[in-house]
Amino acid sequence: MTESSRRKIVVTGRIPESGLEILRSVGDVWAWSDDAPIPTEIRDAQLADAHVAVTLLTDRVDDAFLAAAPQLSLVANVAVGYNNVDVAACTARGVTVTNTPGVLTDATADLALGLILMVTRRLGEGERLIRSGVPWKWGMFMMLGTGLQGLRLGIVGMGAIGTAT
């Protein structure tokens, strides 16, 4: 593919530089670099000649989005789900849709364990007490939490996140 025939890739939100480098190796990349949502007028102007759109879960990929991108052949949705994408509208226009399943499984399991420890060991309450600067004195029952040793964790729905937890 010659330099002038490289496909245009529009990235609608801020992603890691390493991801942009990979995209630059396969196409001409225009990327929105702000954490705030991309204004519709800027997005649509960039989509006008785009072949690929890399979207975030905050983007609504619907008829209006697709109408602004007549050459679009791929929507790469950086999200585990795809409820922000009108798959039927994409299919009707011959636009392939991808997502990133599994990317948050371990992080979600870690957070579940963190929340369990926050509750059982009263970590949030203790952190707020220390930050408040209010003088305190240790006592046998001060901030006494509950240990997890010998307990069993019950998980409803043993999918990927439950298994990782």
Residue range 32-90, pLDDT digits in tens: 999 999 999 999 999 999 999 999 999 999 999 999 999 999 999 999 999 999 999 99
Q: Answer yes or no: is pLDDT of 2 > 60.
A: no
Predicted local distance difference test score (pLDDT) of residue 101: 93
Give the tens place of pLDDT for each residue, 115-141.
Answer: 999 999 999 999 999 999 999 999 999
The mean predicted confidence, pLDDT, of the chain is: 95
> Residue range 139-146: average pLDDT?
94
Predicted local distance difference test score (pLDDT) of residue 130: 95
Cβ neighbours for 105, distance < 8 A, ≥ 6 positions apart: 160, 161, 164
Which residue pairs from 105-111 have beta carbons closer than 8 angstroms and sit at least 24 positions apart in sequence? Answer: 105/160, 105/161, 105/164, 106/164, 108/161, 108/164, 109/161, 109/164, 109/165
Q: Work out the percent of the chain whose per-residue pLDDT is above 90.
A: 96
Report the relative pairing of strands 96-98 and 74-78 from DSSP bridges.
parallel
- Model confidence band, residue 157 (pLDDT cutoffs 50, 70, 90): confident
